[in-house]
Structures are given as C-alpha cells and as structure tokens.
Structure 1
C-alpha cells in the first residue's frame, strides 16, 4: 500500500542519516549557533526603530528558521540527485511502487528534520529570554509555517535536481540562488528598510510571507496578518509542489521509457 511505501522509503532516509551521527548532531545544532552568534552580534548594530522592537534576537528568530529551511531545501534534493547519477533511482523505478512515494517520502523525512531543528532554535531563543507573544499555540503554528515552507523549497529543489544533467550544475544554480532568495526577503531587515525594487521582489518571495507569519506570532501575537501570510504560503507551496511533481513525473517517465 502507498502509506507503507512512503514509510519504508522515509525509513531509508532516516537510516542513511543515522549512519553519520556526528553530521546529524551538527545539523540539528547549527541553526541555534547561528541564532546565538549572528543575532547576538547584530543586535547592537541595528536601530530598534527600524526593526520595530528592541529585542533583535526575537526579530531574528524567524529569519534564522527561514535560513535553515533554505539550506535544508537544497540538501533535501541531493539524495535524489545522487540516486539519479548512480543509477539507483532506476532500480527504485523498476520496483512495484508508486513514483509519488519516492518524492513524498522525502518531504516527510525533511519536514521531521526541519521540525527538530526549529524546536532547538525556539528552545535556545527561550533560553535567551525570547517570549513568543502568541504562547505555546503560536509555536505550533510556527511549526506549521515551517512545514509549508519546507514543502515549497524542497519541491523546487527536487524539480531542479530532476531537470539538471549533473550535480555540478545543481550546486552552481543553488549556490547562486540561495543567498539572494534569503536576503531578498524580510529575514533580517524589515521591508520598509529596503530599496523600492528590492521590496517589490521581497513581496513575491514565499520566504517573506513565512517569516512575516512567524514574526507576528513571536513579536505581536495573534493578528489578522498571520492567516493572510499563511494563505499566501499555502498557495506558493501548492504551486511549487505541482511544478516539482510534474517535473519528477516527466523525468522518471523518460527514464522508464
């Protein structure tokens, strides 16, 4: 059955990760280190009137979460890329399993990994004195926003992994696009502080809407802007998922043929 296929393939990703426990440990802890050092260092140099709060660490928490998801979105597609290059993907496609289970299993695994990292970030933020205005329920909604952003970026990265001829091209494109994607959002500065052209780009960036929802929950609590931002994020995730699924189906159909 399809759920069993997804769980079995997700278990494969988990076993691969557990074999490199030191890498797993640093992957989970690294975002918290970014929060401590980056936000701590930048806090004294940022005008509180610009960011709208005197607690820059609280302001930066959603940005660090988005930074983490961007990096993980790239790495999420790497196993598929290497499976394609080594021929293991062809072996999987020859098995009596649905092709959708291959991509869905990666989404499931990546969502769980990102949730673990986000929980560590939030715990470190609590230790540093950040108190989300929306409380524990707001932290759950932050996890939902993270899951939607994970879905969007993982789908985009997997579509790219299917389309490019080699891992060299994949890393060249993602290396070129990752930082502009992050910095053309409101991850570390508000939209009002950006030049007009950059603000216009940032407003159509899915990261901006994910960060906006999380930042409102951290700094201001429940407000009308949270559902609106989450709605845009759902739309972006849906479109990228359709694109990723179509590209994966097209490429795998050619390999089967």
Structure 2
C-alpha cells in the first residue's frame, strides 16, 4: 500500500511539472498528429503501393508516426531524472524513506499515460483522414498495449543512460546520435523487404520493428498470427531493457547514497 502511494505521489509530481507549462503540453500532444498529416500526406504520392503493400500510405505510416513519438518521448522521459541528479534533488529523494523502485515506476506510469494520450490523438486524426483500423475497437486497445511496451523499453534505456552519463550534454549527444538511426533502421516508413540486406538485418533486432509490425497489422489487416508473435518479441525486449535500466539505476543510486 505504501509503495503504491509513493508511486502515485511521484507520478503526481511529474504531472504537475507538465501542467505548469500548458502550452508545451498542448503542442506535445498535437505535434505527432501534425507529423501524420504533413509527412504521410506529402510522402504518399511518392511511394509505390506495390512496395508498401497498400495504396493507403497514411494507414501504412500511422505505426511509424506512433513509433517516432515514443522514441522522442522516451528520451524526454529521462530528462527530469537527469536534471534531478545534476541539481542534487535526486539525493534528497534518495534520503527519504521511500523505495528507489517507486522513482522509476512512477516515471513509467506517467510516460505511458502521456504516450497513450498522444496515440489516441494520432488515431483520431487518422480516422478523420479515412483510416479505419481493421481490428476494430479492441485493436485500438492492443495498439495501446504495444505502445506501452515500447514506452517501457525506451524509457528504461533512456533512464539507464541518464544514470550513467556525467552530464546532460553527454546525454543529449548520445541520444541525438542514436535516435534517428534507431527509427530509420526499422520498418517505420518502409517495409523490411525494401531495405538493403545489412539494414534489414539490423532492423530485425530493433525492438521498434516489432512494435510497428504489431500496430501495422492491427491497422491494415486486423487480427492475425503475426500480432502475438510481434508482441511476444516486444515483451522480451522490454524485459531485457527494463532489467538493464533497473540494474544501472540501482548501481548508480547506491553509489550516491554511499
């Protein structure tokens, strides 16, 4: 009971930090929908329908825009922890009689909620543009599950990095270098079959590929055997990254306490 109260209290802190900048919150929620309208709308006429497997490139691009959003949010999810560490506030939190796990879990809870809101906005805009998920209303819930797993994986990786690096400058340098290759070496905007062999091999070990595959199947084809397979791989990847993130956070915070 105490642990859940700690998680809720810390989650409320993250929420209050966002609500203080309401204009930033508004643009953060709406920005992915703008990407969908302009990017997918502009690219649709230049993409061969035989390559992507559908004549509706906006429907094809919806999972990629969702993944793009989660990647960006995964990076920003670690920033409060990073600045808490640099300002010394993290040491104050660690000196309190709370479990260290509540610090991490509260960030996951908040980030999954934020990402879910953005995904729903993307799906609503896609609906206005004529995209109807083939899997129906239950498919939307499955899309939120896939998004939540991907959020867990990327947030854990970003928070592990935030604990390990000496300053926010190094953090932004590493994430700025890695974020776009992570996105483009996946099936976000082109299918795996259209990639060079080496890039396809990299994409097949990228967790984004499996989240995007599950969402794309739910949007374009409905319920199929590929959905649980992709979600299963995503669960394993999320568990591994979560284990790494928890280990790194525990190691760094125990050193700070010492």
Q: Give the match for residue 133 of structure 1.
A: 134
Is 1:146 matched with 2:159? no
Tell me how far apart the structure 2 counterparts of residues 99 and 217 of structure 1 sit (CA, whole Å): 37
Tell me how far apart the structure 2 counterparts of residues 54 and 180 of structure 1 sit (CA, whole Å): 27
Superposition map of 1:38-49 within 5 A: 38-49=39-50
Runs of 4 or more, structure 1, over 2 Å off, are none
Q: Give the match for residue 75 of structure 2.
A: 74
In the comparison of the two structures, how many residue pairs are matched?
257
Q: Give the match for residue 5 of structure 2.
A: 4
Q: Give the match for residue 217 of structure 2.
A: 216
Tell me how far apart the structure 2 counterparts of residues 22 and 162 of structure 1 sit (CA, whole Å): 29
Tell me how far apart the structure 1 counterparts of residues 17 and 134 of structure 2 sit (CA, whole Å): 38
Q: Give the superposition deviation at 1:29.
A: 0.1
Scaled by the length of structure 2, what TM-score is found?
0.99
Q: Give the match for residue 106 of structure 1.
A: 107
Q: Give the match for residue 225 of structure 1.
A: 226
Tell me how far apart the structure 2 counterparts of residues 190 and 241 of structure 1 sit (CA, whole Å): 28
CA offset digits 1:161-211 (Å, max 9, x no partner): 000000000000000000000000000000000000000000000000000
Q: Give the match for residue 54 of structure 1.
A: 55
Q: Give the superposition deviation at 1:22.
A: 0.1
Scaled by the length of structure 1, what TM-score is found?
1.00
Q: Give the match for residue 181 of structure 1.
A: 182
Tell me how far apart the structure 2 counterparts of residues 139 and 50 of structure 1 sit (CA, whole Å): 26
Tell me how far apart the structure 2 counterparts of residues 131 and 172 of structure 1 sit (CA, whole Å): 39
Q: Give the match for residue 163 of structure 2.
A: 162
Tell me how far apart the structure 2 counterparts of residues 74 and 202 of structure 1 sit (CA, whole Å): 20
Is 1:19 matched with 2:20? yes
Q: Give the match for residue 199 of structure 1.
A: 200
Aligned to 1:45, what secondary structure does the other structure show?
coil
CA offset digits 1:70-94 (Å, max 9, x no partner): 0000000000000000000000000
Unaligned ranges ≥5, structure 1: none
Q: Give the match for residue 38 of structure 2.
A: 37
Q: Give the match for residue 85 of structure 2.
A: 84
Tell me how far apart the structure 2 counterparts of residues 156 and 33 of structure 1 sit (CA, whole Å): 27
CA-atom RMSD in angstroms: 0.2
Q: Give the superposition deviation at 1:137.
A: 0.5
Unaligned ranges ≥5, structure 2: none
Tell me how far apart the structure 1 counterparts of residues 231 and 31 of structure 2 sit (CA, whole Å): 26
Tell me how far apart the structure 2 counterparts of residues 225 and 176 of structure 1 sit (CA, whole Å): 31
Tell me how far apart the structure 2 counterparts of residues 204 and 249 of structure 1 sit (CA, whole Å): 27
